[in-house]
Amino acid sequence: MCGEFQKAHEGDEVIVMGWVQSYRDLGGAVFLDIRDRTGLVQVVFDESSHQTAHAIADRVRAEWVVGIKGKVRSRGTNTNPNLPTGEVEILAQYIQVFNPAKTPPFAIEDGVDTAEEKRLEYRYLDLRRPEVQKNFIVRSKINQIVRNNLTSQGFLELETPFMVKYTPGGARNFLVPSRLNPGQFYALAESPQLYKQLFMISGMDRYFQIVKCFRDEDLRQDRQPEFTQIDLEMSFAEMEDIHRVMENVMRSIFREVLSTELPERFPVMSYDEAMTRFGSDKPDLRFGLEHTVLTELIRSHDGGGVPLFREVVASGGMVKAMRIPGRHNLSRTETDKLELEAKGVGAQGLGRAKVAEDGAWTQSPFAKVITEELRLAINQAVGAEPNDLILFQFGAPKLVHTVMSHLRLLLGRKLELIAKNEWKILWVVDFPLFEHDERTGRYVAAHHPFTSPRPEDVEKLTSDPKSVKARAYDLVLNGNEIAGGSIRIHDADVQAKAFEALGISEEERKAKFGFLLEALQYGAPPHAGIAAGMDRIAMLLSGAQSLRDVIPFPKTQRGTDLLTSAPTTVDAAQLQELCIKTTV
RNA sequence: GGGGUGGUAGUUAAGUUGGUUAUAACGCCGGCCUGUCACGCCGGAGGCCGCGGGUUCAAGUCCCGUCCACCCCGCCA
């Protein structure tokens, strides 16, 4: 293999096959760098000693595929310290051109800044680049580690269907028409959720699968329409058991891929605490800039002379502040930019106050009207010191969290507060079981409808649904949600109450989940599970910037494949056979 | 559905207050060169300035629309 030639091979007769990385034609001598997956090696063609080979090499160009027979020899004083194989070269005796190549649209080398559009159009060329291949080598490793680890923890690798029953709710489904059943459709599985619960009822005990899932939702840097989960489920398991299994998996991945030790047990934070301090249920703990909720403080001062504060608090809104230490010295212009960013994610504006030596506020719309008592109380609450900048956001809690969390991440990056090679992993627990859907006015399952409430909250399912906490947990790594799971309901009464709270009628339950509800009555063990985002884990561990960098053939943000140009229209005959009429 | 960034040779970019023939680097093609490795030297080709419309004597540049890629909100675990 190209990348493996060393001094020890001197004098060996060898054959190398690969792609021409570069050629340097000096007239009587031609140098070719030959590349394969393992690296580069220099081959020299000498006109005086091997005329035929030299004549062929003279015509060879970048990315041609060639095979070369020759002898390894020392480079003497002409070594190349930048190349692992730089102490030796191959003196070519014969060369065979397996295939010439068109000039590639971009150079096949690391560090190129070709537009992603072009890279995806010629993905097979992009994938030739070592730094791109590196990500997939990491990914392959993770696959092996997960299989070995979970198998050794007693899990069975079992498969579930991709073509499944359509159940609305949750993520949008991709549909697959059934030719044999005109007018009817399968859905591509959003996850193997229901099947893995059936496995538990089957006595499969411990199940895992590295499995593709499909969701027809809008794409993001960390979201693709088809993605891979490390999915597992365990019978007779409490939250603690799932955490230990997953911690074990993550520790082995980090140890073997990065030679990094994660803690034996991962820290745990409640959802409420995460939202309060960071405005996010996936807090990045690698830096500070924590939030302070001022709602109650302001209420106790009756708005402190600031009409806006008073109105917001009176109408059930929230006030949050974030302190930017004075050493960061944000300019007026930079703060204005922050306001634009805030508006970009839905804010009306961005309140601000610069703290003076005596604790007074300057550059602030509140400075003139706010009472000294409230001003000092706020300074104290956020821990403000002279020269600090305080940013404020007020309004509906959801929006306040979104805006402040967005600004926190933005500033964390901009102010370079995030250390390289630092890993902060934690569990976030005690999620609300339900979320209120603004449009329908109903409650919807925050996780999925089979998630168990905390035992102490069961009574509140009917009386006070929004205060019920779920026995659900997310694993968060450097501000990325990399896994999520829950204890499942195995009690028919509790399940009925949950459906009631969700406003799902008896009929609807039967139609959608009848098979599972039926199965739960045949001796279902208590069970729990979790699903981890394989792509996200691969992205974070390989240092990739986007999920697309760890998926060999990813989709664009509009869900298209620039290489094959999928999706496309299909033949009328095909549609007719499927009894499908399109309206576009 | 909404907010933002970008689109100029094969690639990456520059292009001023609108003004002659749209620049540069790398790559590509031809020639020379036996120790290069970002090889060097000489010469050359290469453009629907994303697309459509408008303003203007004149548009890469200004205006409107549209397409594509990316980032974010909504949506989605």
- Measure the CA–CA gap between A287 and A422, rounded to whole angstroms: 10
**A46 CB neighbours strand B below 7 A:** yes
**A481 CB neighbours strand B below 7 A:** yes
For A235-295, the DSSP string reads: ET--HHHHHHHHHHHHHHHIIIII--PPPSS--EEEHHHHHHHHSSSS--TTS---EEE-H
Query: Which nucleotides of strand B lie under 7 Å from a protein CB?
Result: 1-4, 10-13, 26-29, 32-40, 68-77
Q: Put residue A46 in one of left, alpha, beta given phi > 0 → left and psi -120 to 50 → alpha.
A: beta
Could you tell me the distance in Å between the CA of residue A113 and the C1' of nucleotide B35? 32
**A432 CB neighbours strand B below 7 A:** no
State residue A432's pLDDT score. Answer: 94
- Measure the CA–CA gap between A165 and A11, rounded to whole angstroms: 64
- Measure the CA–CA gap between A391 and A384, rounded to whole angstroms: 11
Q: Is the pLDDT of residue A441 over 80?
A: no
Mean local confidence (pLDDT), A19-25 = 96
State residue A506's pLDDT score. Answer: 87
ipTM value of the model? 0.93
- Measure the CA–CA gap between A397 and A308, rounded to whole angstroms: 15
- Measure the CA–CA gap between A469 and A429, rounded to whole angstroms: 9
Query: Can you give the pTM of this predicted structure?
Result: 0.93
State residue A332's pLDDT score. Answer: 83
- Measure the CA–CA gap between A178 and A474, rounded to whole angstroms: 36
Q: Put residue A514 in one of left, alpha, beta given phi > 0 → left and psi -120 to 50 → alpha.
A: alpha
- Compute how many other C-beta atoms are within 10 angstroms of the C-beta atom of residue A319: 26
Could you tell me the distance in Å between the CA of residue A248 and the C1' of nucleotide B23? 58
Mean local confidence (pLDDT), A56-84 = 95
Mean local confidence (pLDDT), A263-288 = 96
**A431 CB neighbours strand B below 7 A:** yes
State residue A452's pLDDT score. Answer: 94
Pick from A67, A62, A52: nearest CA to A98: A67
Pick from A107, A94, A102: nearest CA to A35: A107
Mean pLDDT across chain A: 93
Handedness of CA A70, A75, A80, A84 (dihedral sign): positive
- Measure the CA–CA gap between A167 and A149, rounded to whole angstroms: 33
SS3 letters across A546-558: CHHHHCCCCCCCC
What lies within 8 Å, CB to CB, of A141 at 6+ separation is A256, A257
State residue A584's pLDDT score. Answer: 80
Q: Is the pLDDT of residue A534 over 80?
A: yes
State residue A69's pLDDT score. Answer: 97
In percent, how much of chain A has pLDDT > 90?
A: 76
Residues 135-174 of A with CB under 7 A from strand B: 170-172
Confidence band for A135, pLDDT divided at 50, 70 and 90: very high
Q: Is the pLDDT of residue A254 over 90?
A: yes
- Measure the CA–CA gap between A99 and A44, rounded to whole angstroms: 20
**A384 CB neighbours strand B below 7 A:** no
Lowest average pLDDT, out of A289-298, A506-515, A568-577, goes to A506-515
**A234 CB neighbours strand B below 7 A:** no
Residue A270: CA count within 13 A, CB half-sphere = 7
State residue A96's pLDDT score. Answer: 96
Q: Is the pLDDT of residue A508 over 90?
A: no
Instruction: Give the SS3 label for residue A139.
Output: helix
Could you tell me the distance in Å between the CA of residue A114 and the C1' of nucleotide B11? 7
State residue A75's pLDDT score. Answer: 93
Lowest average pLDDT, out of A181-190, A249-258, A330-339, A553-562, goes to A330-339
Identify the DSSP state of A342.
H
Per-residue CA distances from A330 to A324, A335, A375, A539 (Å): 8, 7, 21, 32
Q: Is the pLDDT of residue A438 over 80?
A: no
Per DSSP, helices labelled H in A178-217 are 193-201
Higher pLDDT, A303 or A401: A401
Pick from A441, A504, A430: nearest CA to A467: A430
Instruction: Give the SS3 label for residue A105.
Output: coil
What lies within 8 Å, CB to CB, of A407 at 6+ separation is A322, A338, A341, A342, A350, A391, A393
State residue A485's pLDDT score. Answer: 95
Could you tell me the distance in Å between the CA of residue A392 and the C1' of nucleotide B3? 21
Identify the DSSP state of A351.
E
For residue A567, say if its preceding peptide bond is cis, omega within 30 degrees of 0.
yes
Could you tell me the distance in Å between the CA of residue A21 and the C1' of nucleotide B39? 15
- Measure the CA–CA gap between A144 and A149, rounded to whole angstroms: 8
Distance of CA A54 to the CA centre of its chain: 50
Confidence band for A433, pLDDT divided at 50, 70 and 90: very high
Q: Largest alpha-carbon pair distance within chain A?
A: 95
In percent, how much of chain A has pLDDT > 70?
A: 100
pLDDT tens column, A335-391: 888 998 898 898 988 999 999 988 888 888 888 888 888 999 999 999 999 999 999
Handedness of CA A219, A488, A476, A272 (dihedral sign): positive
Lowest average pLDDT, out of A132-141, A440-449, A452-461, goes to A440-449
Could you tell me the distance in Å between the CA of residue A559 and the C1' of nucleotide B65? 24
Nearest nucleotide relative to A105: CA against C1': B10
Q: Is the pLDDT of residue A56 over 90?
A: yes
Which amino acid is located at A136 in the chain? Answer: F
**A83 CB neighbours strand B below 7 A:** yes
CA angle A440, A442, A444 (to 5 degrees): 110
Mean local confidence (pLDDT), A179-194 = 95
**A48 CB neighbours strand B below 7 A:** yes
Nearest nucleotide relative to A91: CA against C1': B35
**Helix, strand and coil percent figures for chain A, each rounded to 5:** 35, 25, 40
**A438 CB neighbours strand B below 7 A:** yes
Confidence band for A52, pLDDT divided at 50, 70 and 90: very high
Confidence band for A112, pLDDT divided at 50, 70 and 90: confident
Confidence band for A230, pLDDT divided at 50, 70 and 90: very high
Which amino acid is located at A269 in the chain? Answer: M
State residue A45's pLDDT score. Answer: 97
Confidence band for A552, pLDDT divided at 50, 70 and 90: very high
* Protein residue with the closest CA to the C1' atom of nucleotide B73: A345
State residue A448's pLDDT score. Answer: 87
- Measure the CA–CA gap between A547 and A536, rounded to whole angstroms: 6
- Measure the CA–CA gap between A41 and A35, rounded to whole angstroms: 7
Higher pLDDT, A141 or A512: A141
What lies within 8 Å, CB to CB, of A73 at 6+ separation is A10, A11, A88, A89, A90, A91
State residue A306's pLDDT score. Answer: 87
**A24 CB neighbours strand B below 7 A:** yes
